[in-house]
Amino acid sequence: MSSVEATTDTRTVSRWEQLFDRSTRELLVGLLFAAPYLALFTVFLLYPLLKGLYMSLHEWNFLEPSKSTYVGLENYARLLEDPAFWNALWNTLEFVGMTVPLIVGISLVLALGLNKELKGSRVLQFIYFSPYVLTVSVVGIIWAQMFAQGGVGTQYLGWLFEGTPLNSKFWAMPAIVVTTVWWQAGFYFAVLLAARQNVPERLYEAARLDGAGPWRMFRDITLPHMKNALLFVVIASSIFQFQVFGQPYLMTKGGPVGSTETLVYYLYELGFQTRELGFGAAVGYTLLVILVGVSALNYVLVGTNDE
Amino acid sequence: MGRITIDNVRKEYDSDAGTIRAVDDVSLNVRDGEFLTIVGPSGSGKSTLLRMIAGLEDITGGEIRIDDTVVNDIAPQNRGVAMVFQNYALYPHMSVRQNMSYGLKLTTDLGDDEIRRRVEDTAEMMGIGDLLDKKPNNLSGGQQQRVATGRAIVRQPDVFLFDEPLSNLDAKLRLHMRTELQRIQEELETTAVYVTHDQTEAMTMSDRIVILNDGTIQQVGTPAEVYADPVNKFVADFIGSPSMNFFDVSLEEDVLYGDDFDYAIPSSFASVVRENARSDSLVLGIRPEHITVDTDGEDTVTATLDVLEHEGSDNYLYLSKGDTEWTVRVDGNTRFEWGETVEFSLPPEHLHVFDAETGENLVVEEGMTADVDSSSVTA
């Protein structure tokens, strides 16, 4: 309380200043500003997160939660022996493994191609971006029809499979991948296009004088400049695609024979159909661990320090 | 070797408003080992001309030769030129060493040791030997400028191209780098084409100056020539700081009549003007440093002192009479009072008379018009 003694008679000291010293006051004001977000964060993120962890350690009684019994890691042990979980995990990995490279590759090619000020490039930019504004239900319905009997996709690709792709154990997942890439690539294209347009044109001129061809310019100038944007695209799309649910829900109901049942879809079944909330929470937590691992791996592989 | 021949070169852009001619039928010879500066206001086409020499812009018409090779269709890296950009254009993800060796790695088959030696020698010469492992973002503006120049030097090109390389530096550093660049160019004896909008840079650094306006060459000459004998009003106005005084005048008998003054000139001078003039409307021009504040001349002009500017060794007097304003440079020791009436004379040997319509200098001595052809005599 030294500040109180230092300021004696000449100026008035408010009660607020008497009670707290300077650094405490700053902390309190800071907390006050952060409070609205912290409140939302606590209610909608922190509490569910902890509740989920708590649930995953219980045999959860859906109707009377107080009668739930603590089972320790039993749900996780069951998970490891559950073929449906492994199937869902494998399907999810298959989906992510196809979708993310396609999205990154296609959006990068589009961004590099449309960077030039050509006639019509604005129109194409708009067209490529536009699917992203649709909701998953619209996208799902459009593509379910495309791939239905007599649909456009089925007509042209009918020789590949018997019936329709969504009824084919092998082709259902690729059909969902195509749907997703069509829906999402436009957004990442916009991100990468912005990054590409941030590269100073002068550098390419300097490189031309230095004798660099298109490949060297791409490798030595474009790619290093776009590294952070690419990292973002890879991580963001990975995290998003790992949580795929709407497309299989709308297009295949996880079928045929579970071939498009993904982790979140499996989670949905456990939660809303068989009401195994404790076990479902364990699946959810496993997904969380996978996502954190994927993000960490990306950071390590691509690196983030940008001098 | 590094002779550049520019023959009737044109550059046209298509825009919504029709075709824009950025460079209009320019012919010019740059001598081997010469330091040639292209100067002009923004939009005059000077950078475009430089970029055409570099190969960064297509040539709409005409021909550019470096030594005896027509380079119109030769890729930039094969022209034997190296360029220093206004914003340096250093590769931000590479160290100084990588920046400097990049071109050598791509365009020569020098071994790693030889490249390393050349980069280190050049860095030493540029005073950046201790910065080789740093990234450009960690360098000051002046250091980046040195790296950019070093990157050009290490290529050992036939021609250096400089595109306003000093305009991003503060005044003091700019002054320093000016002499530094001159020293290096003289040492290497490499042809240099230097673009700037700063006439002081052009005057102090160049062997010869090209003054460009609206895509056409106004005058080519040594700094002394373009200063003393500007071929037209544009050059007279552009070169010199503060710029030349201009007055609308007419000539009757041997007297120049302005709005608020008249001034008698020698009849020999008057007859030259009359001989070359195409109309009666003339513009009289005289530089502030050439007006003499005394009463010894055959005729004098008087005006009132509005503003006195001290610049150390010199004082600048801003005088007026009616609507006519005069800028006069006097010695720093001379004392004047505000509101004082100052009497001065205009030495005829420093008078310029321009055609009001065409801007052409009517009294430039024969042979000093420094037209394009006279510059084609290679040294």
A198, A199, A208, A209: best to mutate for the B interface, most B CBs within 10 A: A209
Closest CA to A181 of A297, A76, A98: A98
Chain B hits for A210, CB-CB cut-off 8 Å, are: 77, 102-103, 106-107
Q: pTM, whole model, 2 decimals?
A: 0.78
Query: Strands B262-264 and B282-286: what pairing?
Result: unpaired
Q: Say what the pLDDT of residue B373 is.
A: 40
More confident residue, A211 or A170: A211
Nearest CA in chain A to B92: A307
Tokens of B260: 């608020």
Domains, chain B: 4-233 (3.40.50.300), 244-363 (2.40.50.140)
ipTM of the shown complex: 0.81
Count of CB atoms situated within 10 Å of the CB of B279 = 10
First vs last C-alpha separation in chain A: 45
Which residue numbers in chain B have pLDDT < 70?
295-297, 365-379
Query: Smallest CA–CA separation between B147 and chain A, in Å?
Result: 13
Q: B243 is written with which tokens?
A: 């710029």
Residue of A130, A109, A113 whose CA lies nearest to A187: A130
A208, A220, A225 member nearest B77 (Cβ): A208
The pLDDT score that the predictor gives to residue B329 is 92
Q: What is the DSSP string of B46-114?
A: HHHHHHHHHTSS--SEEEEEETTEE-TTS-GGGTTEEEE-TT----TTS-HHHHHHHHHHHH----HHH
- Answer whether A307 sits within 8 Å of B137, measured CB to CB: yes
Q: How confident is the model over B52-78, as pLDDT tens digits?
A: 999 999 899 889 999 988 989 998 988
Averaged pLDDT of chain A: 83
- Write down the architecture of domain A78-302 according to CATH: Orthogonal Bundle (1.10)
Task: Say if residue B157 is preceded by a cis peptide, omega within 30 of 0.
Answer: no
User: Which neighbouring-strand residues pair with B327?
Assistant: B318
DSSP string, B171-217: HHHHHHHHHHHHHHHHHHT-EEEEEES-HHHHHHH-SEEEEEETTEE
Distance between A223 CA and the closest CA of chain B, angstroms:
10
Distance to chain A for B312, nearest Cα, Å: 41
Cα-trace Rg, chain A: 27
**How many whole angstroms separate alpha carbon B371 and alpha carbon B226?**
11
pLDDT tens readout for residues B263-295:
888 888 888 888 888 888 899 999 999 998 876
**Residue A103: band (very low, low, confident or very high) from pLDDT cuts 50, 70, 90:** very high
Residues of chain A in contact with residue B107, where contact means CB-CB under 8 angstroms, are 210-211
Residues in chain B: 379
Task: List the 80-99 stretch of B: residues with Cβ below 8 A of A.
Answer: 81-83, 85, 87, 89-94
**What pLDDT is attached to residue A8?**
53
Residue pLDDT, tens place only, A149-198? 767 766 676 666 667 777 777 788 888 898 899 998 889 999 999 899 88
Residue B87 and residue A225: Cβ atoms within 8 Å? no
Per the model's pLDDT, the better-predicted residue between B372 and A139 turns out to be A139
| Residues forming beta bridges with residue B35, ordered by sequence position | B192
Judged by average pLDDT, the poorest of A67-71, A218-222, A231-235, B103-107 is: A67-71
What is the CB-side half-sphere exposure of residue A143 using CA atoms within 13 A? 29
pLDDT at B91: 92
Closest of B254, B233, B214 to residue B357, by C-alpha: B233
Residues of A with CB under 8 A from a CB of B: 200, 202-203, 205-212, 216, 220-221, 224-225, 307
Distance, in Å, from the CA atom of B329 to the CA atom of B284, rounded to the nearest integer, reads 18
Q: What DSSP line would sit under B210-279, residue for residue?
A: EEEETTEEEEEE-HHHHHHS-SBHHHHHHSSSSPPEEEEEEEETTEEE-SS-EEE--HHHHHHHHHH-SS
pLDDT confidence of residue A302: 66
Q: Is B30 strand, coil or helix? A: strand
DSSP H helices in A222-276 = 223-242, 246-251, 263-272
User: pLDDT digits over A229-257, tens only?
Assistant: 888 888 888 888 888 888 888 888 877 88
Nearest to B106 by CA among B98, B118, B95, B117: B98
Domain parsing of chain A, residue ranges = 78-302
Q: What pLDDT, on the 0 to 100 scale, is given for residue B295?
A: 65
- B 114-173 residues with CB < 8 A to A: 135, 137-138
Which residues on chain B are in Cβ contact (under 8 Å) with A200? 87, 89
Q: Is B241 in contact with B74 (CB distance < 8 Å)?
A: no
Query: Do the Cβ atoms of B102 and A307 come within 8 Å?
Result: no
Token pair in block for residue A127: 């067209």
Contacts with B102 from chain A: Cβ below 8 Å: 207, 210, 212, 220
